[in-house]
Amino acid sequence: MLFKVLGKKEFTTFIELLLNDTEVIAPKQVGVDTSGKPLHQYLPVQAFTEIDLSYETTEYSAKTYFLPFRENLSTCSFLDMVWDRQIKYRVQPRAIIGLHACDINALLKLDKVLAGDRFPSPYYISRRKNTFIVGIDHDPCEGGFCQAVGADVVTHGFDLYLTDLEDRYFVAINSERGFNVLQRVKTREPTARDNNDYLDVRRRIAGQFKPLEVHNLPNLMDIEFESKVWKKWADKCLSCGSCAMVCPTCYCYGIEERVSMDNAESAKVKQLYSCQFLDFAMVAGGHNFRPDRETRLKYRYYHQHRGFVEAYEEPLCVGCYRCGRVCLAGINPTDIIGDLQTEYQE
Amino acid sequence: MKYLGIEPKRPKVGVFDFTGCEGCELQLANKEETVPAFLQAIEVVDFREISSTSSDDYEVALIEGAITRDDEIRRLKEIRKHAKLLVALGSCACFGGVNRLKNGYDLDAVNQEVYGTEPKETLPTQAVKEVVSVDLEIPGCPVDKAEVERIVQHLIWDVPYQFPAYPVCFECKQRYTTCVFELGQLCLGPIARGGCHAPCPAGGSGCWGCRGPAADPNLEEFLQIAKDRGFKKREIKERLSFYGGFEDMP
């Protein structure tokens, strides 16, 4: 990895230059909750002052900029009994500033599924390749357990990664593109003191995480397949799908054909979907493989913490805790995993 | 033109209003960009709001409004005889709608509150299905024209239409709306049927459940959540009964 040191003033200039020619998405405060805590979202910004890099977390992940909630995959027109199909990929450059390590790790996991050898998605790849990513280190967010699932540090998947050293940023450069764009402002080589300060910050952050026992989780889950824990939590589940929507890695979707009222055009529309919905595993003929909440909730956890591990040697979950925060019923991965761990000890 | 074995039909449609604000009917004439194609797909033979023609020769009857008078009951039964397919259009027709609120009070007192010394003939509010058999219900206050269009298309193609199973929460999330519960408001979003694109929470007001319950709603947990967040029993009950869609729930 290549490192540089960037003054705070230069960083402001850097973002302002970026704003001149690129769509910039960044954490922005959108309000406060009932307890007065600020609420942030990744939104398009027009000025540096709109950005709040000290944000703790965002309600929604940045997933929608790579996997939109709704996306038109193709449009067909029908004229003289002949179909004509048009496909458009999003290629306009975009920069996302201030992603945390968990969210960049989430993109790396999505890359494995959607930009891998088996079923590459050109829709995802075009958005991913044309998005310039500037990450930033931060103190652990409330409830976050990214360290337990190995997502608190990130070594690739971004262009630039910042660590705040109070009066300056320590910048990790991970792409030629990142290196070139950084040339627009003045930087300097890190000194021994810079390196030292950077490592101190990293150690401070790493030491603040609350432990979560995830040791041997895939096997534990197999042993706990019939556990009462699933029903206990599923009885509370509203099947509202909010967990999957705010999740930075949930990528399941449905596709529907939308035909224009005059029958002359048709669009294939993809919509991100949730495995918690009653009809998620409904098949032709009306059979439903997961008609009850218990099975649906269990399989979400199985996909995240067991199935994905089998396929990719790592969990799909990055420990951002957005699902736990968004759930009105209080269902959250920390308590569910905790229950599974302790049930067998009892 | 026949395509993929489907011969499109052009059904004769009658639209009939009962006790309601006629807003759902207005929706049928809304969305101007596709109105010509919409009226090409169906043949409107009776629709007071947009046409002066009147006819008993229809296959599909769209019923708007709740049933609150004797003459409405007679008229509705007559329409049922003519229609092959009878559709309840909008929350009033499907559940009784806002009109149903009066059923919780003494009928004479309600009459006097509204009409003073000149009371009108009125019955307890009924949904269309409480009077005649209903083949299809399209909920909403008002109905969503885009959804009506898709339902009409499915009728023409003879393919069953599936209403979304998911609740409103899902659509709030898909449009980046901050949860109104987080802002201290009550919202039926977790148990109400989605498909409306969640305009109310996006506008800062909780969901009032105009489309009735979602598929397999978890009412028990919802009541617990509302209680835990400090909403009074009366407030929750009032919200649930506002459109009448949650009346049948235990």
The string of pLDDT tens digits covering residues A128-184 is 999 999 999 999 999 999 999 999 999 999 999 999 999 999 999 999 999 999 999
Mean pLDDT for A224-250 is: 96
ipTM at complex level? 0.92
Give A328's contacts in chain B (Cβ within 8 Å).
179, 181, 190, 225
Position A131 in a domain: yes
Is B60's Cβ below 8 Å from some Cβ in A?
no
**Number of neighbours of residue B205 by Cβ within 10 angstroms:** 12
Determine the distance from the C-alpha atom of residue A259 to the mean position of all C-alpha atoms in its chain, rounded to a whole number. Answer: 32
Residue B1 has pLDDT above 80, yes or no: no
Residues A33 and A181 in one domain: yes
Where do the domains of chain B lie?
12-157, 168-241
Residues A95 and A235 in one domain: no
Q: How confident is the model at residue A346 (pLDDT cuts 50, 70, 90)?
A: low
Residues A332 and A228 in one domain: yes
Residue B139 has pLDDT above 90, yes or no: yes
Which neighbouring-strand residues pair with A171? A4, A162
| pLDDT value at residue A81 | 81
| pLDDT value at residue A72 | 96
Position A186 in a domain: yes
CB contact under 8 A, A245 and B174: yes
- Residues B95-136: tens digit of each pLDDT: 999 999 999 999 999 999 999 999 999 999 999 999 999 999
- Residues A10-24: tens digit of each pLDDT: 999 999 999 999 999
Beta strands B12-17 and B43-47: pairing type? Answer: parallel
Residues A40 and A171 in one domain: yes
Give B238's contacts (C-beta < 8 A, 6+ positions apart). none
Residues A283 and A333 in one domain: yes
Residues of chain A above pLDDT 90, percent: 91
CB contact under 8 A, B170 and A259: no
| pLDDT value at residue B60 | 96
Position A178 in a domain: yes
| pLDDT value at residue A240 | 96
| pLDDT value at residue A33 | 86
Residues of chain B above pLDDT 70, percent: 98
Residues A159 and A232 in one domain: no
Quote the domain boundaries for residue A97: 2-61+84-206
Residues A223 and A161 in one domain: no
Residues A37 and A164 in one domain: yes
Alpha carbons within 13 angstroms on the beta-carbon side of residue A82 total 2
Which neighbouring-strand residues pair with B46? B14
Residues A307 and A190 in one domain: no
Position A79 in a domain: no
Position A123 in a domain: yes
Is B38's Cβ below 8 Å from some Cβ in A?
yes
Give the Cα separation of A132 and A123 in Å (integer): 16
Given a contact cutoff of 8 angstroms between Cβ atoms, the answer to whether B91 and B97 are in contact is: yes
| pLDDT value at residue B90 | 98
| pLDDT value at residue B53 | 83
Position A135 in a domain: yes
Question: Which of B166, B186, B187, B229 to mutate to probe the A interface, most A CBs <10 Å?
Answer: B166
Residues A186 and A222 in one domain: no
Is B37's Cβ below 8 Å from some Cβ in A?
yes
CB contact under 8 A, A33 and B182: yes
Beta strands A70-79 and A38-45: pairing type? Answer: unpaired
Position A72 in a domain: no
Q: Which of A148, A174, A206 finishes a domain?
A: A206
Q: For chain A, how many structural domains are there in total?
A: 2
- Residues A65-109: tens digit of each pLDDT: 999 999 999 999 988 888 899 999 999 999 999 999 999 999 999
Is A223's Cβ below 8 Å from some Cβ in B?
no
Residue where the block lists tokens 């699932």: A149
Determine whether A143 is exposed, middle or buried from the number of CB atoms within 10 Å of its CB (0-12, 13-18, 19+). Answer: middle
pLDDT mean across residues, chain A = 95
Question: What is the distance in angstroms between the Cα of B154 and the nearest Cα belonging to chain A?
Answer: 10
**3-class state of residue A199 by DSSP:** helix
- Residues B16-28: tens digit of each pLDDT: 999 999 999 999 9
- Residues B31-66: tens digit of each pLDDT: 999 999 999 999 999 998 888 888 899 999 999 999
Give B149's contacts in chain A (Cβ within 8 Å).
261
Mean pLDDT for A191-220 is: 94
Mean pLDDT for A328-336 is: 97
Q: In whole angstroms, how far apart are CA B139 and each of A137, A240, B12, B89?
A: 48, 19, 22, 6
Question: What is the distance in angstroms between the Cα of A216 and the nearest Cα belonging to chain B?
Answer: 32
pLDDT mean across residues, chain B = 93
Whether domain B12-157 has CATH 3.40.50.1010: no
Residues A244 and A133 in one domain: no
Position A264 in a domain: no
Is A156's Cβ below 8 Å from some Cβ in B?
no
Residues A191 and A221 in one domain: no
| pLDDT value at residue A188 | 97
Q: Which of A178, A206, A234 finishes a domain?
A: A206
